[in-house]
Chain A
Amino acid sequence: MTDQTDTTRLFDRLNTLGPRAAAHRPWPRHVTDRTGWRTLIDDLDKDGGLALIGLWADADAGGVNVHAALRDETAGTGAVAVVTLPCPDGRFPSLSAVRPSAIRLERAIQDLFGVTAEGLTDPRPWLDHGRWGLRHPLADSPSPTDDSAAPPPYPVLPCEGEGLHQIPVGPVHAGIIEPGHFRFTANGETVVRLEERLGYVHKGVEALMRGQPVARAARIIARLSGDSTVAHSIAFAQAVEAALGLTIPPRAVWLRALMAELERLANHLGDIGAIANDAAFAFLLAHLSPLREAVARSADACFGHRLMMDCVVPGGVAPDIAATGPQRLLELVADLRRRFAPLVAVYDGKASLQDRTLTTGIIHRGLANRFAAGGFVGRASGRGGDARKSPGYAPYTDLEFEVPVLTEGDVNARVWIRIREVEQSLSLIEQIIRRMPGVPRGPDGITPPPLLRLPSVGEEREGMALVESFRGEILTWVRIAADGTVARCHPRDPSWLQWPLLEAAIEGNIVADFPLCNKSVNGSYSGHDL
């Protein structure tokens, strides 16, 4: 199979960089030195097919290690690997010159660990707004600071020229939205530059998880980004299970996918309505938000929570679906099919609405590639990636569905990707319910819940998972200590790779189209800010 050879190509390349670390699953992790890291930078420079899909650090008494997750996008499924650079002197060569997606990730690493990314093209602080009362919270020994004085002003990038004016927006926005700061520089109505400043909802998630039992850490992860609570919980659970070598009950695998598709459905229905509403077409929001409500109520009836928070846990799912759940979901699918199609026809038939969404907020394919953007952002710009297909995970490997791809890269394309994904999710929910393994019964008639106890392995283990949320691919990396607690966990929300593209999307558009562009990209503030 060609997949096999292609996959080996990436692994062969990494083998030359350094030895493979033990106990990292399911993909290999190689430990390199500065020379190897620089070779990697050269490789990234020359080979556009090598995607940077994550960049994070961890610290112990020996110093800070920086990890880069890579995927060979020209190869088949599974060509994923991690490269680690120990930085005992507190410095590492920056990847930002060859992969701009590294800029904010490295700024965050600098803020959290106190290491220096040499040659980082934008070295300003990112998550640290100078208000925490300490610096480098994830370093082995954080240093306290006196934050009683006002923090120094954040230098926004200069943008000068005749007739330019600035519009500062946020962090508190005018709707029921998460906080973040946007600095527009405009010439009349036309946006010349948008600069985002995020980090306002930084809650110290990674530090909170450190040293916690897995079950406690799972509750924190479930609250990383409420709209993707199921997907983040699945990613964390899969990473933990990979690390511990645990195979969960098949029924739990299928129930997780069922919840993930319900979550995708709810968010896409809400987004399509909200995007139309941002073009002052409130009709679609008024008709789509009841559909979203129908999904939330069904989720509540099936799993006891409207967002299905804490329903996916490492080891399986809790609780099992309610006895009446499958029938109720089949009725939901039939109902949504009947009500969704006419609304799509309304979207498609309104020239005045299309006038706002067509050719607005274009993200070019080359840029989407450089950022390895996934989800509706990547797929609207010609990138066909979907973690459910590649690397792929159960039960999706047994299910039939298509990953829609468009090439226009505008707001309209991002709406249509969502429309197509709603249709695919409806089909997936039906398939899952029809094919899900039944409730196993013990000989004594007792029904065991689809949940296993986590084994105690008595040694340090590492695991990683790539899971498709409604927004795109989540990467979660975890190190489990010998005592079974979480030594380090890094959840990389897809927003990290998508927020920067919004700055490019709005360029040359009018200020009034920003809500449309923003909602169509729909980055998570909380998921990004950690």
Chain B
Amino acid sequence: MFNHILRALTKGPVTEPAPSPSTDGLAELAGRVDAVSRARLGRSLSIRAVDAGSCNGCELELHALNNPIYDLERFGLRFVASPRHADVLLVTGPVTKNMAEALRRSWDATPDPKWVVACGACAIDGGVFAGSYACVGPVEAVIPVDLRIPGCPPRPAELLAGLLSLLEHSAAKE
């Protein structure tokens, strides 16, 4: 273990130096997220993820955002444990009827100003589950949505790009 730590100290972090925009746009995003989030929210944006019926594919990619390679927190974006600590509700899944009330309550518990991100195809339009007796459908049928991040599931880089446009969107709203 000490070897690992020594190596990390001498070789530096594994976090990808934001790659050039031509590869996947992370570099460009890194700078823009930073600048806008600082202006809007003093460098930080707290996100509460709510699974409202996802297949857990979106969750896997949300987890990936936290790994040292994407290292979401360097942008001032972080996942928090309670909606009461959140600026953003990030909702996945086609909102099952069994989860609709829990989602509504999570939204009620989130202090204003707040934004809602519908993450993934299911959250946007129900995906392959649209029309099921057990699903309400898109997130916007339950709570107002500010941003949609498409993909099944969205890649981590796409998630990051989406969070940037949320910042721009919310800035434009006021």
Q: Which residues of chain A have a CB within 8 Å of any CB of chain B? A: 129, 131-134, 137, 142, 171-172, 174-179, 199-205, 207-208, 219-220, 223-227, 229, 270, 283, 286-287, 289-290, 292-293, 296, 300, 306-307, 309, 342-343, 346, 349-350, 524-526
Contacts and interface: CB of A to CB of B under 8 A. Distances in A.
Given A202-B96, A207-B132, A293 B56 contact: no
Contacts of B97: 129, 131-133
Given A226-B60, A227-B57, A229-B55, 19 more contacts: A131-B100, A133-B97, A134-B133, A142-B133, A174-B82, A176-B49, A179-B51, A201-B93, A202-B98, A203-B96, A203-B129, A204-B129, A204-B133, A204-B135, A223-B57, A270-B60, A283-B1, A290-B14, A307-B57
Closest 8 A/B residue pairs (Cβ): A226-B57, A204-B134, A289-B67, A204-B132, A174-B81, A226-B55, A131-B97, A223-B55
A226 B58 contact: yes
B22 to A, nearest CB: 17
A296 B57 CA distance: 12
B30 to A, nearest CB: 17
Given A176-B79, A346-B4, A226 B132 contact: no
Contacts of A309: 57, 152
B38 interface: no
Contacts of B143: none
A293 B64 contact: yes
Interface residues of B, number: 50
Contact of A132 (B50, B62, B82, B134): B134
B107 to A, nearest CB: 11
A174 B100 CA distance: 18
A207 B133 CA distance: 8
Contacts of A290: 14, 67-69
A177 B55 contact: no
A526 B120 CA distance: 16
Contacts of A227: 56-57, 60
B124 to A, nearest CB: 14
A201 B53 contact: yes
Contact of A293 (B58, B67, B132): B67
Nearest to A349: B1
B128 interface: yes
Given A225-B55, A293-B69, A132 B133 contact: yes
Nearest to B131: A208
Given A131-B97, A131-B100, A201-B98, A287 B133 contact: no
A133 B136 CA distance: 11
Contact of A289 (B64, B99, B102): B64
Contact of B55 (A199, A350, A526): A526
Contacts of A270: 60, 63
Nearest to B82: A174
A179 B133 contact: no
Interface string B71-109: 000000001011100000000011011111110001000
A49 to B, nearest CB: 34
Contacts of A525: 56
Contacts of B51: 176-179, 201
Contacts of B52: 179
A444 to B, nearest CB: 36
Contacts of B93: 201
B90 to A, nearest CB: 9
Nearest to B48: A172
Contacts of B54: 178, 201, 226, 526
A286 B68 contact: yes
Contacts of B63: 176, 270, 289
Interface string B126-162: 0111011111000000000000000011010000000
Contact of A287 (B4, B98, B153): B4
B20 interface: no
Contact of A226 (B1, B59, B79): B59
B3 interface: yes
A54 B169 CA distance: 49
A200 B127 contact: no
Contacts of A208: 128-129, 131-132
B34 interface: no
A176 B63 CA distance: 7
Given A208-B132, A225-B56, A200 B102 contact: yes
Contact of A526 (B56, B69, B153): B56
B168 interface: no
A307 B131 CA distance: 25
Contacts of A131: 97-98, 100-101
Given A200-B98, A226-B56, A172 B133 contact: no
B134 A203 contact: yes
A386 to B, nearest CB: 23
Nearest to B7: A342
A81 B94 CA distance: 36
8 contacts: A203-B96, A224-B55, A225-B55, A270-B60, A290-B14, A309-B152, A343-B4, A525-B56
B134 A226 contact: no
Contacts of B94: 203
B152 to A, nearest CB: 7
Contact of A175 (B68, B81, B98, B100): B81
Contact of B128 (A134, A142, A219, A349): A219
A226 B98 contact: no
A201 B69 contact: no
A172 B96 CA distance: 13
A133 B122 CA distance: 21
B127 to A, nearest CB: 7
Contact of B62 (A176, A300, A343): A176
